[in-house]
Amino acid sequence: MAKPVQFVLLLGLACLVSAVFGALHNQLSYSVGAGYFYEFKFPQFGVTEDLQNRLGAALVGVRASWWMGLMLGVPVFGLACVLLPSSRVMPVGVAAIVIAMICTLIGAMIGLVLGLYAPQVADQLPLPSGISDEGSFLRAALMHEGAYFGAGFGLLAGLWVVWGARKPASA
């Protein structure tokens, strides 16, 4: 398959995986901090009152994360198309997606743990005024921020995977 076709397919897959990750991630963050959604995310994304529930949280997750597939995919898959033979672009690209999602999940879990068990860290963060349940808000907010930091590391890990795949397998 031609490299440009693989590039587009991998970008589509990365966007889909990012969107699904965001929807599932928001199910957990809604469970640990529903106030974050009611007081911040639902208004930010213009979610109507009848959807301000788990479905709305999933929709926010899709809208807030699908584009991360593009942000991570363009440099990673672009590098793969430049450095790798056509037969290696797709498997290495899929591996990079998996590794990026693992990094993102680890980042989200670190954020959640900080929100749950390190209130002194949370106390140092600026909060919007009028938050009714600061603990709930911080748990979900730190989880979300952790996911974005994890995705940043996932980008670097994806680039590293591609870079490492450029060498032929040694005998």
| Of the candidates 14, 55, 11, the residue with the CA atom closest to the CA atom of residue 151 | 14
Residue 75: count other Cβ atoms within 10 Å of its Cβ.
14
The overall pTM is greater than 0.95: no
171 in a domain, yes or no? no
Q: Would you place residue 138 in the very low, low, confident or very high pLDDT band (cuts 50, 70, 90)?
A: confident
159 part of a folded domain: yes
The secondary element (H helix, E strand) that includes residue 2 is none
- What's the confidence (pLDDT) of residue 171? 46
Lowest pLDDT segment from 38-42, 80-84, 105-109? 38-42
What is the C-alpha separation between 42 and 124, in angstroms, rounded? Answer: 25
In a domain, 64, yes or no: yes
> What distance in Å separates the CA atoms of residue 143 and residue 34, rounded to the nearest whole number?
12
In 3D space, the residue among 50, 47, 53 whose CA is nearest the CA of residue 31 turns out to be: 53
What's the structural domain count of the chain?
1
Find the mean pLDDT for residues 33-43: 91
Quick check: 122 pLDDT over 70? no
Q: What is the pLDDT of residue 123?
A: 65
In a domain, 53, yes or no: yes
Q: Is residue 170 part of a domain?
A: no
Residue 90's domain comprises: 3-165
pLDDT digits (tens, 9 = 90+) for 46-83: 999 999 999 999 999 999 999 999 999 999 999 999 99
User: Do the domain assignments include residue 125?
Assistant: yes
Indicate whether 84 belongs to any domain. Answer: yes
